[in-house]
Structure 1
Amino acid sequence: MTAADIEAVAELRVRAWQSAYAGLLPAAYLSSMSVEEDAAARRRMFAASDGTIVNLVAEAEDGGIAGWAALGPYRIEGPHGRGGPAGGAELYALYVRPDVLGTGVGRLLAGACLARAAASGASRIALWVIGGNARARRFYERAGFTLDTLEDAESLDDVAGTPVTVVRYTRPLLTGAV
């Protein structure tokens, strides 16, 4: 991802949340999401990046952005940062435009993220997903992730006053893979 992609990634992220999380997160929260605010947050994160977070985009045939993923070191601190794979990587986000779901864009991005994480020396990768997001859970399970059964692998988040359960998935990596 380059700085020039930030607006398109923000648009994709907001539309993907509104589509994927309908019925899982409060409707008022989803409808209030702002592409402008998300883009501003992405610009701040992009500018502050020390190179440990990798943002990847998948280009669509029309030249736009079809998908976006972000990964980096497993966050020990933060909303879900307990436990997890020591020295491991974390897939922070993977979103695909709703109109290209099921076309392989997500699989390509996931594969690129797994290869990058392995090449960085991580032996495991983790991610967090909303417990009720059956489609995402099936996607990650097909990509080789398994539900983490450790005590700290479930967290209760508050989204606009609504409790939302998130669960951790992990998978081993072949270190040195490219």
Structure 2
Amino acid sequence: MSAIRVRDMVYADCDRVAEIRIGGWRTAYRGLMPQSHLDALSVAEDAERRRARFIDLADSVVNLIAERDGTTTGWACHGPYREGDTRTGDAELYAIYVDPAHYCDGIGHALLEESVRRCSAAGHARMFLWVLKENTGARRFYERAGFRPDGAEEPFEVDGVAVPEVRYVRELIAA
């Protein structure tokens, strides 16, 4: 197996990112939220949202792509921590998804470590993320990477079903 390459996302990646994101939702959130919601997700609609956000948020959000053997296998994005409408001096991992065919290949780890490295280099003292409370696999992944739950929980509802999120934090060391 060849090395994982992490690079900045470009506009042309939006379609593949949408495929990875929707595949990730359908795999990781099966049984955690209504299946009807997961079945209704559209790669084409998500790709359109990715394209709009890629342009609109280019100044504040960092999008990263993981590749192996020239194939895009994962995506992550991070930026300023969002607390309501207020931005803080901390960073937030907004999303990280790996093509389900590449789970446990080190893709997620490579993306997360590059996000942490960039946030640390940018001078952020902490990095936050939100994860579904019942997503034990993701929670273990983040805990192995040094993130810890800080006690904050937030309601999240999908098609009338509660799927609460918990907040994780990791202290960063400025590079």
Q: Structure 2: which amino acid aligns with 1:64?
A: T
Map 1:1-178 to 2 at 5 A: 1-61=9-69, 63-77=70-84, 86-149=88-151, 153-175=152-174, 177=175
Please give the TM-score of this superposition, normalised by the length of structure 1: 0.90
Task: Give the gaps of 5 or more residues in structure 1.
Answer: none
Aligned alpha-carbon RMSD (Å) = 1.4
- Quote the Cα distance in structure 2 between the aligned partners of 1:99 and 1:163: 28
Q: Which runs of 4+ in 1 moved over 4 A?
A: none
- Quote the Cα distance in structure 2 between the aligned partners of 1:114 and 1:21: 24
Instruction: Kindly indicate whether the alpha-carbon contact (under 8 Å) linking 2:82 and 2:88 is maintained by their aligned counterparts in 1.
Output: no
- Quote the Cα distance in structure 2 between the aligned partners of 1:16 and 1:138: 17
Aligned length: 167
- Quote the Cα distance in structure 1 between the aligned partners of 2:98 and 2:150: 24
Give the deviation of 1:86 after TM superposition.
4.2
Instruction: Kindly indicate whether the alpha-carbon contact (under 8 Å) linking 1:154 and 1:165 is maintained by their aligned counterparts in 2.
Output: yes
Instruction: Kindly indicate whether the alpha-carbon contact (under 8 Å) linking 1:146 and 1:170 is maintained by their aligned counterparts in 2.
Output: yes
Instruction: Kindly indicate whether the alpha-carbon contact (under 8 Å) linking 2:80 and 2:88 is maintained by their aligned counterparts in 1.
Output: no
Please give the TM-score of this superposition, normalised by the length of structure 2: 0.92
Structure with bigger strand share is 2
Instruction: Kindly indicate whether the alpha-carbon contact (under 8 Å) linking 2:78 and 2:92 is maintained by their aligned counterparts in 1.
Output: yes
CA deviations on 1:120-173 (whole Å, 9 max, x unpaired) are 110000000000000000000000000112xxx101111111111100000100
